[in-house]
Amino acid sequence: MSRPLVVIPTYNERENLAAIVARVRAVVPVARVLVVDDGSPDGTGALADELAAADAAVLTLHRAAKEGLGAAYLAAFEWALERGFDPIVQLDADGSHLPEQLPSLLEALEGTDAAGEPVDLVIGSRWVAGGAIENWPRHREWLSRAGSAYARWLLRLPTRDATAGYRAFRAEALRRIRLEDVHTRGYGFQVDMLWHAREAGLTIVEVPVTFVERVRGRSKMSAGIVIEAMLRVTGWGIRSWFGHGVPRPADDHGSASKRSHA
C-alpha cells in the first residue's frame, strides 16, 4: 500500500479546506489528497485548484452540481482505482475527522483482525472503547447512537458505528464491493457501503477516533435527511430478512446530501 489517497468531498467548505489539507499533508506526507468539489458556489473549487497549483500532492476532481455525498465518493473511488491508488481514505472537510488520527487507521489496515485475517476496511469509530465526541448536544449523540444501533440490528452489520464516515479501504476491497451496485447518494451511503462490504465478505475492524463538531461553516445535516435514511434502511432490512439481499439499481436513487455523518 504505497500510494495512499485521502478523498475529501466538499460543498461550500472554503473556510475549512486549506487547514484540513495542510493537516493531512503534515501527518501523512506520502499521501495524496483528492478534493472532490460539487460546484460549490462559495468558491471552494477554486481554492482547491489554488492548493493543487501550490502542492503537487493535492489533486482535484470537479463535479458540475451537488448530487450527494455518495455520488461524490463513488466518482472518487472510480477515479482512484483507475490510477492505482491504495489505500483509499474517506475524510470530511469540516474538521470533524481529525487528520492526526489517520495513521491509526492506516496502521490497522496493514494488520489483521482478531481471527488473524488481513484487514480490508478500517472504520474510525466513535462508539468503541476509546472513541469520543466533542461539542455535540445530547440529542445529536442519542440520534447517532440510535441510528447506528438500528442499522446494525436490522442489517446484521458487524460494527458499532454503522454511520461513521472516517474510513480506509484497500483498493481490492472496493473492487470486491462492486461499486456499480451501490446506488445510495445521500446520508444512507455510509450504511449502504458497509452493508455491501459485509455481503462481499470483507474483513472490517474499528479503531477509536474522536469526532469533533465543526467550528466554521454550516452543517448539511437535518432531521428530514436522517428520517429519509432510516426509512431506506428499514426497506433494505426487510429485503435482507426475507432473503432478497442488497438493494439493486431500482431500489435507491436518493438525492439527499450531507457532508458530515450523524
Asked if the model's pLDDT at residue 252 lies above 50, the reply is no
Whether the upstream peptide bond of residue 87 has omega within 30° of 0, thus cis, is: yes
C-alpha cell at 120: 480490508
- Dmax over Cα atoms in the chain, in whole Å? 54
By the 10 Å C-beta count (0-12 exposed, 13-18 middle, 19+ buried), 129 is classed as exposed
By the 10 Å C-beta count (0-12 exposed, 13-18 middle, 19+ buried), 158 is classed as middle
Asked if the model's pLDDT at residue 227 lies above 70, the reply is no
Could you read off the pLDDT of 192-226 as tens digits, one per residue?
A: 899 899 989 999 999 999 999 866 555 555 555 56
* Long-range contacts of 140-148, Cβ-Cβ distance < 8 Å, separation of 24 or more: 140/262, 143/226, 143/262, 144/261, 144/262, 147/226, 147/229, 147/230, 147/262
Of the pLDDT bands very low, low, confident and very high (cuts 50, 70, 90), residue 260 is very low
Residue with cell 462490504: 197
Structure confidence at residue 135 (pLDDT): 83
Asked if the model's pLDDT at residue 48 lies above 90, the reply is yes
Structure confidence at residue 61 (pLDDT): 98
Could you read off the pLDDT of 102-124 as tens digits, one per residue?
A: 999 999 999 999 999 999 999 99
Length of the chain equals: 262
Of the pLDDT bands very low, low, confident and very high (cuts 50, 70, 90), residue 258 is very low
Of the pLDDT bands very low, low, confident and very high (cuts 50, 70, 90), residue 259 is very low
Q: Tell me the CATH number of domain 5-251, given options 3.40.50.720, 3.30.1360.30, 2.30.30.100, 3.90.550.10.
A: 3.90.550.10
- Strand pairing category for 32-37 and 121-125: unpaired
Asked if the model's pLDDT at residue 253 lies above 50, the reply is no
Which H/E stretch holds residue 197? helix 189-199
Of the pLDDT bands very low, low, confident and very high (cuts 50, 70, 90), residue 188 is confident
CA dihedral defined by 156, 159, 164, 167, rounded to 10 degrees?
Answer: -120
Mean pLDDT of 125-141: 87
> Alpha helix (H) ranges present in 213-260?
223-241
